[in-house]
Amino acid sequence: MGGSANDLGIATGSSTSGTGGANDYDFTIAVDGTTSGNISITPDSYASFDDVAAHLTTQINADPTLTGAGAGVTVTHDGSVFVVTSNATGVSSTIANATAVGSEAATLGITAGTATQGAATGGSADEYDFSVTVNGTTSGTISLAAGNYADKDAVAIEIQNKINADTLLAAAGTSVDVAYDSDNDTFSIISRLYGSNSTVSVTDIGGNAADLGLSGGASSTGINVAGTIDGVAAFGTGNVLLPALGEPGESMGLIIGENATSATLNFSRGFSGQLDLLIEQFLDTNNGVISLREDSLNNNLDGFDEDQTSLDRRIEAYEERLTSQFIAMEAIVRSLQDSSSFLESTLGSLLDSLNGGN
């Protein structure tokens, strides 16, 4: 859209009052295949062509027909003409059939049946193709669908959906989040994996993919979470923080959220945990219930052995005493038997003597 804008109130080095009626600069324009209603340009005092371009952008984007179709444009001035660019990307992005309606519209470079940018059709589909390597796995060719996008956040969603739908990445269990960075006018692709294995790089970029901020630019490797638990340095892998070996709670894994700096954890055991602890206490080789009972039984057995030894000594002594007594009694009995035999012999001799004397 070109030519002069002096009649709107722009002169070199100064601004003047515009001329023409309220609808003298009306025109229509087809954006991405949708033709607008009458778009009015207000004659006024404009400080620069950039101000006129901003006014054109506002007026075109305010058209209800274009708004309803999700179409929008950006108008700039390149020093000689006004350049109208569709906000859409892909092969369906077109600006065409800019038609002068008001009597003065031709002074802006608008004439019936002409296109302000010719047949601008945007890049071909494969020019927006790219590949991405996520966590060491390289995708197939990712193609962005040609169409009209409401804004760059919608493009970010499309990029995210296309990447996550890739069969190679899906087979590896890999996925990403994509967001539009308005400050740098780029798209950020972030792996959903945490830790040092989290990496993203864009490769095999199509000719127009750089227009979307996709390039083999800077990428960073994720880091493992780090921190302490109860004052002791813990071990981090991804977003999971583990207590050091030998420390209380070493079997637990703490999932750390983004931007977390500290937290208080209250831990209580469930039934199975209590049962496991009870069994562990029973089986403790030092102070467990079973170990203590074994020690007690072993001590009792040792006492029984001592008692048995003492009893054996007492029985042996008693046996020796009985044997001695038995031997002594046998000696006495033999002595009595000898005395009995002597007395019987003496008595017999005496009786024989007495009987012989008669």
Per residue in 67-90, pLDDT tens? 888 888 888 888 877 788 887 755
How large is the average pLDDT for residues 225-251?
A: 75
How large is the average pLDDT for residues 312-335?
A: 90
Which region among 3-7, 99-103, 225-229, 322-326 has the lowest average model confidence (pLDDT)?
3-7
pLDDT at 101: 66
Q: Which residue has the higher pLDDT, 57 or 111?
A: 57
pLDDT at 8: 42
Q: Which residue has the higher pLDDT, 127 or 37?
A: 37
How large is the average pLDDT for residues 14-19?
A: 40
Question: Among candidates 24, 44, 31, 21, which has minimal Cα distance to 108?
Answer: 24
How large is the average pLDDT for residues 157-166?
A: 90
Mean of the per-residue pLDDT values of the chain: 76
> How far, CA to CA in Å, does 316 sit from each of 26, 92, 302, 328?
137, 119, 21, 18
CA–CA gap between residue 173 and residue 281 (Å, rounded): 42
CA–CA gap between residue 82 and residue 74 (Å, rounded): 10
Element containing residue 82 per DSSP (H, E): strand 82-86
pLDDT at 16: 37
Which region among 110-119, 156-165, 184-193 has the lowest average model confidence (pLDDT)?
110-119
- Residue 116 contacts residue 84 (beta carbons within 8 Å): yes
CA–CA gap between residue 209 and residue 131 (Å, rounded): 11
How large is the average pLDDT for residues 337-354?
A: 84
Q: Is the dihedral of CA 306, 308, 311, 315 positive or negative?
A: negative
Q: End-to-end distance of the chain based on CA atoms, in angstroms?
A: 195
Which region among 180-184, 205-209, 284-288, 314-318 has the lowest average model confidence (pLDDT)?
205-209
pLDDT at 63: 92
Condensed to tens digits (0 to 9), the pLDDT of residues 254-305 reads 777 676 677 776 767 678 878 888 888 888 888 878 888 888 888 888 878 8
pLDDT at 5: 41
pLDDT at 234: 79
Which region among 17-21, 174-178, 214-218 has the lowest average model confidence (pLDDT)?
17-21
Tell whether the model's pLDDT for residue 177 goes beyond 80: yes
* pLDDT > 70 fraction of the chain, expressed in percent and rounded: 72
- Residue 72 contacts residue 66 (beta carbons within 8 Å): yes
Tell whether the model's pLDDT for residue 125 goes beyond 50: no
- Residue 109 contacts residue 117 (beta carbons within 8 Å): no
How large is the average pLDDT for residues 17-39?
A: 73
